[in-house]
Every structure is written in C-alpha cells, then in structure tokens.
C-alpha cells in the first residue's frame, strides 16, 4: 500500500504534520509514505523513519508554466498511490489529489474542489489544536506531537559552534512571514536589553535568510553581547539550535513548533492571530504573551502586512516584564 500526503502549506504546518505521519503509518500498517512538500522545506523531514520519500513541489515553476504542472501530475500518477491524504485547503491540492490516481482520497470538506475527495472530514477553524485536526482527518483519537530527527553529518558544524559559545542561551526568533505577527524590532531590542540586565542567558538570534536584515538591525545595538545565526543555518541546523536552548522566544511562527518537538520551554508572542486558531506551543512549560481586551483581534487567520486599525497595539503593548518573569525560571 502506497500513501501520498500533500502538505504544501507553510513550514510550520509541515512541522506540525510530522507526528501525523507516524499516525498514518500506524493506522495503515505501512511506511511506504511519500510526502509532497514545497521545494526548500525538505530538510525538516530528513531522518524521519515513517517516511519513505519526500517529493519537492516546485510551486514557482508550476505557477508560471501549466505544462510543468501536467508533467508533475503525470509523474505522481505513475507512482501508483493507493491512498492520498490532503490536510490542505487549496484548490490545487485537491486537483493534485484527484490526478494522483489514488482510489481513496481523504481531505477536508472546507477545501477548494472538495468534491474531488472520496472521503471528506470537517475541519473547525477555532477551538482545537492543529494536531487534533490532523488526527481527526484519518479517524485517530490520540494526536501525536511534532517529531524531528537529526542527521549527524548536518549538525556537526553547528554543534561545534554552540559548544564554543559555552553558555546557556535563549533562542530568539523575531520574524514571521506576516508583518502583523511580528513584534516590532524596537520591542525585541528592549526585551534583549532586559535579558542581558536581569539574567545570565545569552540571547541568540535565529531565522532564515529573509530574516537577516531584521536580526542585524536588532544585533547592532548589542554587538558581540548577543549572537546572530539568522541566515546562516539550514532547517536541520536551526532545529538543532532550538533543541539545545534553555528557552525559545518567538512570534506565532514555525520555531514554536520546532520547540514543541523537543519540549523546550517557550514564550509565544501573539499579535494579529489568537491561540484559539490551534497553533499554540505544545511544550509543557510555556507562556503565551498577548494583549487582551482588543476587539480587533484576530484580524485574520494568518495576519497581514499592516494593522487594519493603524495602531498595532496587539504588538506595541506587549508586556515584556511578564516575559522576563517567565524567562528567569530557566537560567
């Protein structure tokens, strides 16, 4: 039995799906599972024992060339999948599922072109965690937390760098794909100043290449008193950094879910979005930082590029003293 799982959403959604892959393997009694992911996110699944193959989806190329899309569909159909599971909402994912040739196609009722699924499961927007929504898709009652694995050859260099630092560190992820999910740089600068004044933890900035400018803006106020690894790590190395942190501080973004895989104490900063969407940290020790009492929250499922109310109080009014109070438990 060959199974295809379509997970071409954001990297955070893919990380949250890693426990789901184990659930699929256990339910159907197979590890012949292929996972379709956005090109560039494959590293996060390296070493996963429940996946036989990771198939990169060249979204940019396919957007610009319909013939490339049909060529890709022909490739999928040639793989002879028995089951296709699509925990995704897009019309394109439903089309991919249908043209994969799988006889059994499981997806959400709310997805685009949902009539192409042979089995449809409702997915509530609010109220339950994403890992529960995933497990419900295949009728499994006990969801599994994210599971990430390391390839020793890929983390050797970053392991040496972290050992050379020789300090307990707090990993800080100040970015997000969406502007309204980012606490402003000046607030992170103020927070880091408080960390340096009140604790012995070393602030360590993390992020992708697209986050480098933001992290450099934050670092310039502190020089060598903090470390900046943004844009210098692949997904395996980034995960390894988070796995060794005393605490992670992050906006509502993918590093939260990496920390959940290793049960790292976590501060999750909410702005435009809310915990009720189901993407909260799963680490046992955590602190949710948010500004309550704003009737404009949430302003969208993902957030946006500007505050619709033009005040951005959901981030500008964050209580940094409460974050520090939580942080000091883990020196």
Using pLDDT thresholds of 50, 70 and 90, give the confidence band for residue 60: confident
CA atoms within 13 A on the CB side of 291: 19
Using pLDDT thresholds of 50, 70 and 90, give the confidence band for residue 281: very high
Q: Judge residue 30's burial from the number of C-beta atoms within 10 Å of its C-beta, 0-12 exposed, 13-18 middle, 19 or more buried.
A: middle
For the segment 215-258, what is each residue's pLDDT rounded down to a tens digit?
Answer: 999 999 898 899 999 999 999 999 999 999 999 999 999 999 99
Looking at the chain, the whole-number percentage of residues with pLDDT higher than 70 is 100
Q: What is the C-alpha separation between 123 and 106, in angstroms, rounded?
A: 12
pLDDT at 302: 81
Q: Tokens 């060959």: give the residue.
A: 2
pLDDT at 118: 97
Q: Find, among 131, 110, 132, the residue nearest to 120 by Cα.
A: 110
Q: Do domains 3-137 and 153-330 have the same CATH topology?
A: yes
In terms of residues, how long is the chain? 331
pTM, two decimal places: 0.95
pLDDT at 97: 96
CA distances in angstroms from 154 to 37, 91, 307, listed in the order given? 20, 36, 40
For the segment 6-25, what is each residue's pLDDT rounded down to a tens digit?
Answer: 999 999 999 999 999 999 99
Residue spans of the domains in the chain: they are 3-137, 153-330
Q: Find, among 249, 248, 290, the residue nearest to 272 by Cα.
A: 290
Q: Find, among 314, 307, 256, the residue nearest to 290 by Cα.
A: 314
The CATH code for residues 153-330 is 3.40.50.2000
Structure tokens at 311: 């005040």
Q: Find, among 284, 269, 29, 279, the residue nearest to 134 by Cα.
A: 279
- Rounded to an integer, the average pLDDT of 129-137 is 96
Using pLDDT thresholds of 50, 70 and 90, give the confidence band for residue 58: confident
Structure tokens at 219: 């670092």
Give the DSSP letter string of 30-71: ---EEEEEETT-GGGGTT-TT-SEEEEE-HHHHHH-HHHHHH
Does the structure show a pLDDT above 90 at 64? no
Q: Is 248 left (phi over 0), alpha (psi -120 to 50) or beta?
A: beta
Fold of 3-137: Rossmann fold (3.40.50)
């Amino acid at each position: 039995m060959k199974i295809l799982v379509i997970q071409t959403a954001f990297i955070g959604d893919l990380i949250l799906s890693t426990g789901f892959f184990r659930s699929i393997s256990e339910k159907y009694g197979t590890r012949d599972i292929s996972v379709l992911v956005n090109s560039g996110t494959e590293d996060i699944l390296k070493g996963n024992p429940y996946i036989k193959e990771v198939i990169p989806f060249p979204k940019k190329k396919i957007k610009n060339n319909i013939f490339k899309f049909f060529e890709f569909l022909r490739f999928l159909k040639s793989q002879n999948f028995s089951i296709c599971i699509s925990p995704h909402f897009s019309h394109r994912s439903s089309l991919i599922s249908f043209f994969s040739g799988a006889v059994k196609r499981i997806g959400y009722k709310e997805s685009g072109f949902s009539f192409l699924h042979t089995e449809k499961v409702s997915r509530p927007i609010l109220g339950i965690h994403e890992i529960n929504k995933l497990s419900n898709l295949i009728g499994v009652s006990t969801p599994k937390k994210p599971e990430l694995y390391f390839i020793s050859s890929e983390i050797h260099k970053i392991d040496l760098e972290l050992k050379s630092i020789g300090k307990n560190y707090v990993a800080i992820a100040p970015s997000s794909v969406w502007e309204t999910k980012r606490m402003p740089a000046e607030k992170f600068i103020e927070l880091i100043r408080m960390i340096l004044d009140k604790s012995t933890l070393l602030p360590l900035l993390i992020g992708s290449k697209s986050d480098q400018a933001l992290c450099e803006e934050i670092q310039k106020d502190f020089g060598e008193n903090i470390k900046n690894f943004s844009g210098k790590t692949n997904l395996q190395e980034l995960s390894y950094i988070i796995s060794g942190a005393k605490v992670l501080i992050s906006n509502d973004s993918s590093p939260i879910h990496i920390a959940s895989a290793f049960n790292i104490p976590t501060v999750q900063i909410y702005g435009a979005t809310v915990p009720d969407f189901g993407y909260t940290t799963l680490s046992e020790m955590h602190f949710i930082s948010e500004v309550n009492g704003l009737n404009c929250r949430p302003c969208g499922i993902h957030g946006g590029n500007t505050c619709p109310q033009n005040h951005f109080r959901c981030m500008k009014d964050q209580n940094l003293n409460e974050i520090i109070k939580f942080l000091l438990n883990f020196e």
